[in-house]
Structure 1
């Protein structure tokens, strides 16, 4: 993490911070519209690790898989990546040394499923889909989720923390200071939203949560409407970052509802960040980071974050690339 940060408020946008839906400058509006042109099919995923996830999702869709298959198989790539420290069984543990996982998935027909506080399951996103398709419920938690996973033929994995994770965890225990931060070093989630050529939408979200969190903590990722929301008539949105702040504004649901009211995906993401900052004010040297991604029914997309550093992956017919999201606050590192 950076030792000291100096935050500069974006001069163009600062005057609109407390005005939901405020009109952007003509230059910014034209720039965002040029950048976020409509495409179908399209996949968006949070952070750099989303690029490999998008690649898999695109492959599934091109080989006659459904949009739901695509968003599931896409994020499974990240769940299985042994280099990941914020998703899957190689993620950072909680403060008691347990790796606990959360995930959610949502289909174009409005069905959804999620799991939270589950241990020893390699692919919680697949378990979330099984909750959606094989049970009358939306969410299963903890031991119950694990029990259901075993009943569905999912093996319990032996969890061995990577050496670098063990080392950092042992260093942290010397002080055991509980001061969770969701920033570029601890971005805690992969969220994916996608649209196929027929305009059908789906989304997925999976995480091992904030490192050294309190045992039992659950963030926004498995909460339908917070970390993920899909409405096939309107669009889809997903979130990453400090989950507590996202839950307080039902961030992904809010974005979809703003699009229903006529906002573009970009405008909806920006207004959601403004709403979040009204409830969680941004202070100098704050480590607060939240990023939103959204797609509308036409394949137009938006991305916005509290502060700079939020990257996302975008895959369409022209390729698969990493983009830097626009943000409410720029950061300068001294």
Structure 2
């Protein structure tokens, strides 16, 4: 027989488990399918993903299709048309994760257009999760991926030449996604990376997560990384638990901004864990942002970092350190670009 003390001890363990169960068994029938993605360029990304989701396709296929769409876009913040490192070389980072915690990633891969598809191939055909550099490129070529010419897009070449005049590395908050903040530099189109006054540029990340008709989640992220980074730098976009994290019982999250700051807290994993505890997607993102800010508020005012999350009910939310981050949503009921809530308005 249980004495009173042992009964209370068992009860204290059981209560949290019951609470988690209640969170995880909510009905998911009303808002699926749905896809959400970072930045206003996510509108076209979501359209590509929706072609699969709207016909009953798998979330994994949808997020790969969305990521491939932006990797195909020339003169963009993502892909081989993006901006190079300080040696003039474009390197890509990407990762992908499905509803069963299968995942794959590439870091610092050169001359391969669809980094996200290489990441998926690693996930599905090898015992590994991540391949980097020359090994990643070799694996891609051996698996039928085309080796693209080693040359910069016209915008990237101009930006690199401008950067070489000073060779100064200084990321600017949101500059990559708001060409209008640089008067006279808008001729490159609404989704093109913006230029600094000296002709150089910084750029950012495309992350997306989706919930399909079967109630399964997946996510992907792809980027050419920080402009003019040290050659060999790999950011959060290649890191499971930072660039993307998926828990099919709870939700999924992705991120954008300064990857090093995200990696310090394994941010997307943290967001999902906050959702597991019962927080809404927006509150979970806000708590992760607060974790970053609480370490060094003065430093946090100098960079951007944002999280975007989707739970099993199809509810979504985001939070950013700085004003200016937006995200895109597409479902049967809505298609829109939404400004994220934020902590600081340092550019106001």
TM-score for the superposition, normalised by structure 1: 0.85
Work out whether residues 95 and 106 of structure 2, in 8 Å CA contact, stay in contact via their aligned partners in 1.
yes
Work out whether residues 115 and 140 of structure 1, in 8 Å CA contact, stay in contact via their aligned partners in 2.
yes
SS at match of 1:191: strand
1:307 is aligned to: 322
Which residue of 205, 208, 222 corresponds with 1:206? 222
Taking a change above 3 Å as real, the CA distance of residues 102 and 291 of structure 1, as seen in their structure-2 partners, is: same
Match runs of 1:96-135 below 5 Å:
96-135=87-126
1:27 is aligned to: none
Taking a change above 3 Å as real, the CA distance of residues 326 and 187 of structure 1, as seen in their structure-2 partners, is: farther
1:297 is aligned to: 312
Structure 1, 62-71 or 252-261: larger mean CA deviation: 62-71
Q: Give the paired residue count.
A: 294
1:139 is aligned to: 130
Q: If each structure's helix is expressed as a fraction of its own residues, which one has the higher value?
A: 2
1:20 is aligned to: none
Distance 1:56 1:83 in 2: 19
2:43 is aligned to: 51
2:207 is aligned to: 191
Work out whether residues 282 and 288 of structure 1, in 8 Å CA contact, stay in contact via their aligned partners in 2.
no
SS at match of 1:210: coil
Distance 2:203 2:335 in 1: 21
SS at match of 2:43: helix
CA displacement at 1:169 relative to structure 2: 1.0
SS at match of 1:115: strand
1:253 is aligned to: 269
Q: Quick check: 1:83 aligned with 2:65? A: no
Distance 1:59 1:228 in 2: 22
Unmatched 5+ stretches in structure 1: 1-37
SS at match of 2:93: strand
TM-score for the superposition, normalised by structure 2: 0.82
What whole-Å deviation, never above 9, does each CA across 1:173-220 have from its counterpart, x for those lacking one?
A: 111112234524244100000101222100000000010011111110
CA displacement at 1:161 relative to structure 2: 1.6
What whole-Å deviation, never above 9, does each CA across 1:109-152 have from its counterpart, x for those lacking one?
A: 11000000000001000000000001000000000000000110
CA RMSD of aligned residues (A): 1.5
Distance 1:76 1:280 in 2: 36
1:218 is aligned to: 234
Unmatched 5+ stretches in structure 2: 1-29, 177-201
